[in-house]
């Protein structure tokens, strides 16, 4: 099933926006209460043969930074003592076309900004924050795709209905083809414990491999095609997708003039009777990108900060990551991701991470009588290559980071914890805390404490 996350928007408003968050929470409670009552009145959901489907979600996130040490800052620095909020609401509209074929359209309304306009951290603090924000709400069609499933075996496993997924039954041996507009990470690098910022972890480097520079516009979506082949415990995936026309752009380059190829091999297993999986994901982007050394040299020759734009040429950037998940008991699971990407080329779409490691655990609340609550803990280490650190020290700006100088570089280390509290069947409220050492790879700044409240309604 496609995740209902994306990277949402947060607005540049003062910290005193907390009352608006309280008002949104009140509205969410009313909507969820109505949904709960309707569900009790109507009984079981409709059968699996329904030709149409309608789901919805709304997520609100408020984040605040503390007054961390900040002796200097640059254009892409994180600021102390700030608060920002984001809201997104999505409809998932589905229609069965023919045998095994589904059409999905996901219109979305968004409002707000990320902390410092989604800048200042390589592992950014909110996966509900896009790289483009707006004070008034606005609407976009974020997904529009067709999925065709070819069942190749006689066995069948039930699939529950949900956002971008009809109820039905699939064979363990099948081919799935997805074509249209969607997110690369709807299909690749998925993880049941850390992949949906509307419900689990918030940090970008927790919900995806930090080194996965996946093709996307500024909202996290692209146009392309993916093919998946499931056979026994194995799954093999391949996809080709449009990159944006320049790095970190809201506009895609059409017709694969600049494009990315993604490949993934996944193995599902049982360990002491509990399910788990291991996936290897590889990407290769081919686009007009700058070598970081060339950007540094251009800056030196012209007496300006390092600048990649004048020295971009058509070249490749590669990366690889491992994604592991394992259930330990019925309510406890662990996950890990390890990634590496080409550190001599500018980052194109996602974030400025060349080497990444994340480890974490997710525990449901059976032990304290709250089985629908979840507590999560993750430790993340993000690192930049020597070339990228020199580029940042020369005044260069990355996709997300750039303090204007970098005399004392270091790893960006992050610890994130959250508690998701079930209020009603359709309503969860989460409390999130992140501690970040060396924000933007800068040992002169931080450490930073970031607290968040998240309200999520699932219809």
Interval 264-286: pLDDT, tens: 999 999 999 999 999 999 999 99
> Within a domain: residue 235?
yes
Residue among 101, 119, 83 at smallest CA distance from 11? 83
> Within a domain: residue 7?
no
Element (H, E) at 300: helix 292-302
Q: What is the reported pLDDT for 48? A: 53
> Within a domain: residue 6?
no
Three-state DSSP class for 22?
Answer: helix
Q: What is the reported pLDDT for 311? A: 97
The helices-and-strands tally (H runs, E runs) of the chain is: 4, 18
Q: What is the reported pLDDT for 21? A: 42
User: What percent of the chain has pLDDT above 70?
Assistant: 89
Look at the chain and report how many structural domains it folds into: 1
Residue in the block written with tokens 């550190």:
343
Q: How far is CA 23 from CA 43, 108, 200, 206, 425, in A?
A: 31, 21, 23, 29, 20
Q: What is the pLDDT of residues 291-313, one digit of tens each?
A: 999 999 999 999 999 999 999 99
Q: Are 57 and 456 in contact (CB under 8 A)?
A: yes
Is pLDDT at 413 greater than 90 in this prediction?
yes
How far apart CA 14 and CA 129 sit, in angstroms, is 17
Q: What is the reported pLDDT for 131? A: 84
Q: What is the pLDDT of residues 163-176, one digit of tens each?
A: 999 999 999 999 99
Average pLDDT, the chain: 90
Q: Which domain holds residue 454?
A: 15-458
Q: Supply 367's token pair.
A: 């032990």
Q: Mean pLDDT across the stretch 402-417?
A: 97
Q: Are 188 and 208 in contact (CB under 8 A)?
A: no
- Quickly state the pLDDT bin for 135 (edges 50, 70, 90): confident
Q: What is the pLDDT of residues 2-59, one digit of tens each?
A: 544 444 333 334 333 433 444 444 454 454 454 444 443 343 343 457 899 999 999 9
Q: Mean pLDDT across the stretch 148-154?
A: 93
Q: Mean pLDDT across the stretch 317-341?
A: 97
Three-state DSSP class for 309?
Answer: helix
Q: What is the pLDDT of residues 355-378, one digit of tens each?
A: 999 999 999 999 999 999 999 999
Is pLDDT at 412 greater than 80 in this prediction?
yes
> Within a domain: residue 5?
no
Q: Are 93 and 107 in contact (CB under 8 A)?
A: yes
Q: What is the reported pLDDT for 14? A: 39
Q: Are 168 and 159 in contact (CB under 8 A)?
A: yes
Beta-bridge mates of residue 448: 436
> Within a domain: residue 9?
no
Query: CATH number of the domain that 27 lies in?
Result: 2.40.160.10
- Give phi and psi for 402, each to the nearest 5: 150, 100
User: What percent of the chain has pLDDT above 90?
Assistant: 85
Beta-bridge mates of residue 374: 364, 420
First to last CA, the chain: 16
- Quickly state the pLDDT bin for 255 (edges 50, 70, 90): confident
> Within a domain: residue 225?
yes
Is pLDDT at 254 greater than 90 in this prediction?
no
């Amino acid at each position: 099933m496609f995740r209902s996350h994306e990277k949402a928007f947060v607005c540049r408003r003062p910290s005193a926006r907390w009352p608006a968050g309280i008002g949104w929470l009140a509205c969410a409670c009313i909507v969820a209460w109505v949904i709960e009552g309707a569900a009790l009145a109507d009984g079981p959901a409709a059968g699996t043969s329904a030709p149409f489907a309608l789901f919805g979600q709304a997520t609100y996130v408020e984040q605040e930074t503390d007054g961390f040490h900040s002796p200097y800052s640059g254009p892409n620095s994180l600021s102390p003592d700030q608060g920002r909020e984001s809201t997104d609401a999505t409809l998932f509209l589905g229609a069965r076309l023919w045998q095994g074929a589904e059409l999905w359209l996901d219109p979305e309304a968004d409002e707000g900004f990320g902390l410092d306009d989604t800048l200042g951290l390589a592992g950014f603090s909110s996966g509900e924050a896009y790289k483009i924000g707006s004070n008034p709400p606005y609407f976009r069609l974020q997904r529009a795709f067709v999925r065709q499933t070819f069942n190749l075996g006689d066995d069948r496993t039930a699939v529950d209905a949900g956002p971008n997924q009809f109820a039905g039954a699939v064979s363990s041996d099948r081919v799935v083809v997805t074509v249209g507009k969607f997110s690369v990470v709807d299909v690749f690098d998925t993880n049941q414990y850390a992949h949906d910022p509307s419900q689990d972890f918030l940090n970008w480097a927790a919900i995806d491999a930090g080194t996965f520079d996946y093709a996307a516009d500024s909202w996290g979506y692209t146009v392309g095609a993916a093919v998946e082949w499931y056979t026994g415990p194995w799954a093999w995936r391949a996809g080709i997708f449009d990159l944006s026309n320049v790095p970190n752009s809201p506009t895609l380059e059409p017709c694969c003039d600049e494009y990315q190829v993604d490949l993934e091999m996944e193995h599902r297993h049982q360990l002491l009777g509990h399910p788990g999986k291991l996936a290897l994901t590889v990407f290769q982007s081919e686009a007009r990108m700058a070598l970081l050394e060339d950007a540094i040299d251009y800056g030196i020759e012209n007496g300006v900060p390092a600048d990649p734009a004048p020295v971009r040429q058509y070249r490749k950037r590669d990366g690889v990551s491992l994604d592991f998940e394992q259930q330990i008991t019925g309510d406890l699971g662990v996950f890990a991701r390890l990634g590496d990407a080409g550190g001599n080329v500018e980052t194109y779409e996602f974030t400025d991470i060349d080497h990444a490691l994340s480890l974490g655990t997710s525990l449901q609340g059976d032990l304290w009588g709250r089985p629908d609550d979840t507590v999560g803990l993750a430790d993340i280490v993000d690192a930049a290559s020597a070339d990228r650190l020199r580029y940042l020290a020369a005044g260069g700006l990355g996709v997300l980071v750039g303090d204007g100088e970098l005399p004392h570089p270091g790893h960006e280390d992050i610890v994130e914890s959250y508690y998701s509290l079930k209020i009603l069947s359709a309503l969860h409220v989460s409390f999130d805390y992140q501690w970040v050492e060396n924000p933007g790879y800068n040992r002169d700044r931080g450490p930073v404490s970031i607290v968040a409240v998240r309200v999520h309604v699932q219809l």
